[in-house]
Amino acid sequence: MFSQAQALLPDLIRIRRHLHQWPELSFQEYETSAFVSKTLHDLGIPHETEVARTGVVGILGHGDGPTLALRADMDALPIQEENDVPYRSRREGVMHACGHDAHTTMLLGAAMLLKQVEDQLPGRVKLIFQPAEEIIGGDGYSGAKLMVEEGVIEDVDAIIGLHVDPTLPVGSIGVRPGPMMAAADRIVIDILGKKAHGAYAYLGADAIVMAAQVIMAAQTIISRRIPAVQEGVITFGEIHGGVRDNIISDRVTLTGTVRSYDPHIRDQLERELEEVVSIVERLGGGYQYRYMRGNPAVINDGQLAGFVARIGKQLLGAEQVREAAKTMGAEDFAWYMRHTRGNFVRIGVRAPQWPEVRPLHTPTFDIDERALAVGAALFAQCAVRWLQEYEPERWPGEPSILED
pLDDT digits (tens, 9 = 90+) for 143-186: 999 999 999 999 999 999 999 999 999 999 999 999 999 999 99
- Please, where in the chain does CATH 3.40.630.10 lie? 2-182+297-389
Q: Which of 383, 312, 385, 388 lies closest to 60, judged by CA? A: 383
Q: How far apart are CA 264 and CA 183, in angstroms?
A: 12
- Please, where in the chain does CATH 3.30.70.360 lie? 183-293
- pLDDT at residue 404, rounded to an integer: 41
Burial class for 400, CB neighbours closer than 10 Å (0-12, 13-18, 19+): exposed
Q: How far apart are CA 317 and CA 313, in angstroms?
A: 4
pLDDT tens for residues 25-40? 999 999 999 999 999 9
Percent of the chain with pLDDT over 90: 93
The arithmetic mean of pLDDT across residues 314-324, rounded, is: 97
- pLDDT at residue 64, rounded to an integer: 83
Statement: residue 331 has pLDDT above 60: yes
CATH architecture of 183-293: 2-Layer Sandwich (3.30)
In Å, how far are 158, 164, 351, 372 from 303, measured between CA atoms? 11, 22, 31, 25
The arithmetic mean of pLDDT across residues 68-89, rounded, is: 98
In angstroms, how far apart are the furthest CA atoms of the chain?
Answer: 82
pLDDT tens for residues 266-308? 999 999 999 999 999 999 999 999 999 999 999 999 999 999 9
Statement: residue 62 has pLDDT above 90: no
Domain 2-182+297-389 fold is Aminopeptidase (3.40.630)
Q: What's the mean per-residue pLDDT of the chain?
A: 94
Q: Which residues are catalytically annotated?
A: 75, 133
In Å, how far are 43, 229, 292 from 349, measured between CA atoms? 27, 32, 34
Statement: residue 402 has pLDDT above 80: no
Statement: residue 390 has pLDDT above 90: no
Could you tell me if 143 and 287 are in contact, meaning their C-beta atoms sit under 8 angstroms apart? Answer: no
Statement: residue 63 has pLDDT above 80: no
- Give the orientation angle of helix 371-389 with respect to helix 9-21, to 10 degrees: 110
Q: How many CB atoms lie within 10 A of CB 41?
A: 12
